A and B are shown apart, each in its own frame.
Chain A
């Protein structure tokens, strides 16, 4: 291999993803230009919509909270060397647990609803993740494929539940709404700045989940086992680390994380469960985890970016009706593509730029020698 110069850390961690994201926006801008609109206006509307107002911030952070959960669900398993594409289904099925407990307790107090539905959501999410985990660990079925299949099974199962079992009287495929006194408090109840945004108390769960994950991965023995299995499964076996145990436990935690999205989105905002409420957030979690390099800090930033895109997209449709809000999906796809699948695209270029500046000394004698 052509001598691969080590790039400075900040280049690989900050500059490379930033360039990838920039490229995604540039191509997104080109798409806007193709349909004959001004890309800069569209991008500004996107940005202003996400960060221009307190309400924008509120929405952005709310979406970001969803992405933190689904992102962590991918990241934790990724640390164990595996790919959890099942966040979508895990969050969906978790919605069932969350809403059923919420509807059961909604005559009491929101505190009970919050904790009750949180526990139920985490348990259901875990359950839906443990099955593919078990199949991978014990039967060797590829977890990527199984989790994809489980997303579809979840979708069929949930539409059956919503259409036939827990349907609200008179409604079509959704549950009844959570009663007034059981609803989770919004942050705007305390901070006026967030105005009518749905940002709610679950946001703090998101922060807690990030901290929890950091501690779990780098400060516990379980985290050590997860990382060992992920980096070298043979060494894990040698060290007496059970792969079966680690796969199942890390998927269980991941499912619980994905499940928390149900508390934020279904219980916190929609206050009922509707068909397809996860809306692709589980899949975006894959991008969030990858972009954030499976590190809580990175995930927080990536979640914020995708949260801003979602919120900005809504505002964009409002401000510039000629630009379809699906632009956001396009940009999102490009961000996933460039940061996730083509993350190394700029490396050769950056190596050429930085290698010389960082390390000019060893180059000189080599040239001299060849010429001699």
Chain B
């Protein structure tokens, strides 16, 4: 591979990684607060549909983004209601939300647009367009450094830059702010927070709002930035890969970014590796590369490469009395 090939590969890796990053950071807020979220997938899907449908109807991609965030937050609040107020099983709730999104998006898509579950194609001005950084074309003439600037850094939609901005923001919030301190505490020992006079429920609600917002952005990215419409089950497991990435990153923001980028590289190279003969191994099936993120996560969880210790209180409803 030439340097240009590598840069192009990395560029498409970034595109694959962005929704994962947003969803993984979304999951970080929820899981750090002690609430398991296997419903990232559903929230992204709901967001993707809301964004595409709203953008198609109103012609405004920003309204689409707002709708995506709204829908995703509502779903997150359902999860909060089940997990916090009814002390229900968080895994069941996540499974239900995934089904709910799968069902509702196609049901409403069918009924509203009558295109077999997809939404109408968006015109370029109804989508997030790519932003060219200053002098991208000119600097791009410089070999390697210039190409990196033009191909890799420039020419992405605003959501891509937002996603990368959210990593330091999340790290800052988590480690440098009051909210972050409490968030980390509530996932470890909610009772410590409760006895300090802080409402566990309210804090978890706030965390889940953030989770909803970020999942909504991730969904909007899929249908209005990367794609130009919504199609049935368009998240196709990305929410679960994001969850895997979050675990792989041991629930830390920077590591989550790197893991998502790694998984992005895996996805991007799938296409390129098709039919490529490797010395000694021969041809590697695409499916093996598809499965790799999951296999890596299993291996990590099994403690063969380090240990992934989840927040201690995760998955347990907090019962204040007794």
Contact = CB atoms under 8 A, between A and B. Distances in A.
Contact present between A and B (CB < 8 A): yes
B303 A337 contact: no
Interface stretch (A203-211, A295-303, A339-347): A339-347
A145 B107 contact: no
Contacts of A324: 106-107, 110-111, 117
Interface string B79-96: 001110011111111011
Which 3 residue pairs of A and B lie closest in terms of their CB atoms, listed nearest first? A329-B103, A341-B93, A333-B99
A222 interface: no
Contacts of A160: 285-288
A85 to B, nearest CB: 7
Contacts of B86: 341-345
Interface in A327-371: 327-334, 336-337, 340-345
Contacts of B89: 290, 340-341
A141 B301 contact: yes
Contacts of B322: 1
Nearest to A347: B86
Interface residues of B, number: 52
Interface stretch (A61-69, A151-159, A184-192, A237-245): A151-159
A139 B103 contact: no
A150 B91 contact: no
Interface of A: 1, 31, 34-36, 83, 85, 135, 139-142, 144-146, 148-150, 152-153, 156-157, 159-160, 163-164, 280, 283, 286-287, 290, 322-324, 326-334, 336-337, 340-345
Contacts of A327: 103, 107
Given A31-B107, A141-B302, A149-B297, A336 B96 contact: yes
Nearest to A331: B103
Contacts of A344: 86-88
B301 A145 contact: yes
B131 interface: no
A327 B92 CA distance: 20
Contacts of B268: none
Interface centre among A324, A336, A341, A345, by most chain B C-beta atoms within 10 angstroms, is: A341
B107 A153 contact: no
B290 A145 contact: no
Nearest to A2: B321
A31 B88 contact: no
A157 B99 contact: no
A342 B79 CA distance: 10
B298 interface: yes
B237 interface: yes
B294 A152 contact: yes
A236 B108 CA distance: 50
B291 interface: yes
A341 B100 CA distance: 13
Contacts of A337: 78, 82, 92-93, 96-97, 100
7 contacts: A153-B291, A283-B95, A283-B99, A286-B92, A287-B92, A333-B99, A333-B104
Nearest to B297: A149
Nearest to A343: B88
Nearest to A134: B302
A210 B261 CA distance: 46
Interface string B55-91: 0000000000000000000000010011100111111
B111 A322 contact: yes
B264 to A, nearest CB: 17
B201 to A, nearest CB: 15
Contact of B91 (A35, A85, A139, A333): A85
B292 to A, nearest CB: 9
Nearest to A138: B302
A156 B287 contact: yes
A347 B297 CA distance: 39
Interface string B225-241: 00000000000010010
A206 to B, nearest CB: 22
Nearest to A143: B301
Interface in B206-243: 237, 240, 243
Contacts of B100: 330, 333-334, 337
A290 B95 CA distance: 12
A156 B288 CA distance: 7
A148 B36 CA distance: 13
B17 interface: no
Contacts of B96: 287, 333-334, 336-337, 340-341
B108 A153 contact: no
A139 B305 CA distance: 12
B1 to A, nearest CB: 25
